[in-house]
Copies of this chain bind each other. A is one copy, B any other.
Amino acid sequence: MTPTRATKPERGRGALGPALELVHTGRAPTRAVLTAELGVTRATAGAVAAELEALGLITVDSRPTAAGSQGRPSHRLSVNPDGPVVLAAQVHADGFRAALVGLGGRIVATEPGRLTVEADPAQVLAEVVGVGARLLRETGRRCLGAGLSVPSAVAEPEGTALNPLHLPWPPGVPVREIFTRCLAEAGIPGPSGDAPMVGHAANDINLVALAEHRHGAGRGARDLLCVATAHRGVGGALVLDGRLHTGSSGLALEVGHLTVDPNGRSCHCGGRGCLDVETDPLAFLEAAGREPGPETGMLRRALDLLRTEYAADPAVRDAAHLLTDRLGLGLAGLVNILDPDRIILGGLHGALLEVDAERLHAVMEERSLWGRSGTVPVLACALEHNSLVGAAELAWQPVLDDPMAALGS
């Protein structure tokens, strides 16, 4: 038994993590605001900011700012643009993408790629990590973590991809383990020097929600629900109090099998008229009387059709209305269960919102139990490469939780 916790020589400032998160999410633009947000004295906030600057994570700018407000202008806080980064990787139906992402969700470098040997997860991940490692060499940045976005539910704590979508992968691939091994083989060291880099992996829609919560349309929300489509199917994610809610085994928010049309088409889940099959790009293309074509690129085609033909083609408009009605039904059901204070929509759903927000609100209001789901703000996702940024957020999390420990100094 070891009741002795942690070590003593490491002076761990308690407020260091929360302070970094405030700067990271842009909620503490100045030291004065940081002081107020942390609820500490100016002296303490100053020490914390100085510490974070010494760690190379943020910059404290005491230069004048032409603020215009009264009193002495506060020092400006910002993420250090030349600071460390994390490696973010994304695998999807059309290919992959690697990126280096700094604090604040800033993409420092990124590069896409096409899948050559789709069927082998290890080889695909090795390719992505290889590109990331090259970016690291080219930029010479210090890398503090690594995160991976996959189009599949990821079971915790094993880190296995249960249902890879649009990828010829078998179910149950241990993506986190493979990702971590690839990092080691690419020669990317861990932040502490000697220990190897451990990779994080999660479902892409979860990461979209996380990224949008920190840097996009979900900023400031306390209970954020995210619903989005890829090419096929519908996914969901929930951010509670700033943390991803993945459930007890990582499989929460499988929202695709809510019933939105009792007489709808049958679904592989055994039900009928599920959100999954009634509001995805395939359903839209079919409802509009278009040839759906191959699965890959279906989202793109649906988006193009909706945006270009909505005003002109009655069939497209009718299809959009049909899907909007079903989506509203599903969202109302989710509001009854989750009671979020904001909803963000991605993929085709985001586009449906942009095309006719009023219709969606009307359906939700009609179906809401206490007249509230009609009042929940619904927004479209606002961030580019959001699941990639989300993968970076995953990798940043240990640093945000305890900067001193994560930096190994």
Answer yes or no: A11 CB below 8 A from chain B CBs.
no
A240 to B240 alpha-carbon distance, docked (Å)? 10
Within 8 A of B (CB), among A215-243: 222-223, 236, 240
Q: Give the most central of A163, A222, A245: most B CB within 10 Å.
A: A245
Surface stretch bound by B, among A266-274, A287-295, A319-327: A266-274
A155 on interface, CB distance cutoff 8 Å? yes
> Is there a chain B Cβ closer than 8 Å to A341's Cβ?
yes
In the complex with contacts A35-B3, A273-B262, A340-B248 CB distance below 8 A: yes
Q: Are A1 and B155 in contact (CB under 8 A)?
A: no
Chain B residues with CB below 8 A from A249, complex form: 339, 341, 372
Which residues of chain B come closer than 8 Å to A153, judged between CB atoms? 370
Q: Is the interface of A mostly helix, strand, loop or mixed?
A: loop
A377 to B370 alpha-carbon distance, docked (Å) = 32
- Interface residue range, chain A: 35 or more
Query: Across the interface, do A336 and B254 meet the contact criterion of CB distance under 8 Å?
Result: yes
Q: Determine whether A4 belongs to the interface, using a CB cutoff of 8 Å to chain B.
A: yes
In the bound complex, CA of A370 to CA of B156 (Å):
13
> Contact between B339 and A246 (Cβ–Cβ < 8 Å)?
yes
- Additional 9 contacts, C-beta under 8 A, given A4-B41, A252-B337: A3-B35, A3-B39, A163-B370, A247-B338, A247-B340, A248-B339, A248-B340, A258-B333, A337-B337
Q: A3-B42, A262-B259, A262-B273 are in contact. Are A253 and B369 (CB under 8 A)?
A: no
Could you jot down 18 A-B contacts, CB within 8 Å?
A3-B35, A3-B39, A4-B41, A5-B40, A153-B370, A223-B247, A223-B248, A246-B339, A247-B340, A250-B339, A251-B370, A251-B372, A252-B337, A254-B369, A259-B262, A262-B272, A271-B367, A337-B337
Return the 10 tightest CB-CB contacts between A and B, nearest first.
A247-B339, A262-B262, A248-B341, A252-B339, A259-B259, A254-B336, A223-B248, A251-B339, A5-B39, A162-B370
Q: Which interface residue of A1, A248, A262 has the most chain B CB atoms within 10 A?
A: A248
Instruction: Say whether A51 faces chain B, with CB atoms less than 8 Å apart.
Output: no
A367 — which chain B residues lie within 8 A by C-beta?
269-271
Identify the interface centre among A36, A269, A338: most chain B CB within 10 Å of its CB.
A338
Interfacial residues of chain A within 1-15, with CB under 8 A of chain B in the complex: 1, 3-5
Instruction: Pick from A1, A35, A339 the residue with the most CB of B within 10 Å.
Output: A339
